[in-house]
Structure 1
Amino acid sequence: MNKFESILNQDKPVLIDFFAEWCGPCKMMSPILKDLKDTLGDSVSIIKIDVDKNQAIASKYQVRGVPTLMIFKNGKQLWRQSGVIQKNELVSILQSFK
């Protein structure tokens, strides 16, 4: 199991943000995710994956557009959505997977 897979196998929700440096909407997600982490603390892991630097992972999960957000828990993908998502919506989605 590689490091990325061991992160996905945690027994708490893991939010993956697939992004790219050149992506405007991705830049909008950054402060939202920081605020989300401040609110939820250690009850969730938030991982950012640069699709240009991690093309194999992006390809494995069929990420075609950025930002794409996914939630994993115990190695299973529970949720996926592309585009900018507001913090309150992410909080309620994450809390449904606790």
Structure 2
Amino acid sequence: MVSETTDRTFDQDTAKGVTLTDFWATWCGPCRMQSPVVEQLSNELGDKVKFTKMDVDKNPETPQKFGIMSIPTLIIKKDGRVVDSVVGYHSKGQLKKVLGKYVG
């Protein structure tokens, strides 16, 4: 399951373990393509990775803090520290490969 996170809850939501946050917006075509891929991954890897998403229009502070200029941007954190990020649409296979570096 992919849970919604906000500027207020982001640090707490991504503080422990491996997390992937999908920064997106409703008007963004590539974001609408990326969203079902992230959902599929959450169903497959949800026991190893926590999946969250953040609407950048409703939550401008966190994307600004991380210098996000394009969406979709996916940020991977491990124990609260950013370890990787990808920008633009990525296939399930590509994302599994990136996440594989951080989960067994």
Q: What RMSD, in angstroms, separates the aligned Cα atoms of the two structures?
A: 1.1
Q: Would you say how many aligned residue pairs link Structure 1 and Structure 2? A: 96
Determine which structure has the larger helix proportion and give its number.
1
For structure 2, which runs of at least 5 residues remain unmatched after alignment? 1-7
1:30 and 2:35 equivalent? Answer: yes
Partner residue in 2 for 1:82: 87
Partner residue in 2 for 1:3: 9
- CA shift digits 1:28-83 (9 cap, x unpaired): 01110111111112211111100000001111111111101110011110101110
Tell me the percent identity.
36
Partner residue in 2 for 1:61: 66
Distance 1:69 1:45 in 2: 13
The 3-state SS of whatever aligns with 1:42 is coil
**TM-score by structure 2 length?**
0.86
Distance 1:4 1:50 in 2: 12
1:14 and 2:43 equivalent? Answer: no
Moved over 3 A (4+): none
Q: Which amino acid aligns with 2:89?
A: V
Distance 2:68 2:35 in 1: 18
| Structure 1 position 3, deviation (Å) | 2.8
**TM-score by structure 1 length?**
0.91
The 3-state SS of whatever aligns with 2:102 is coil
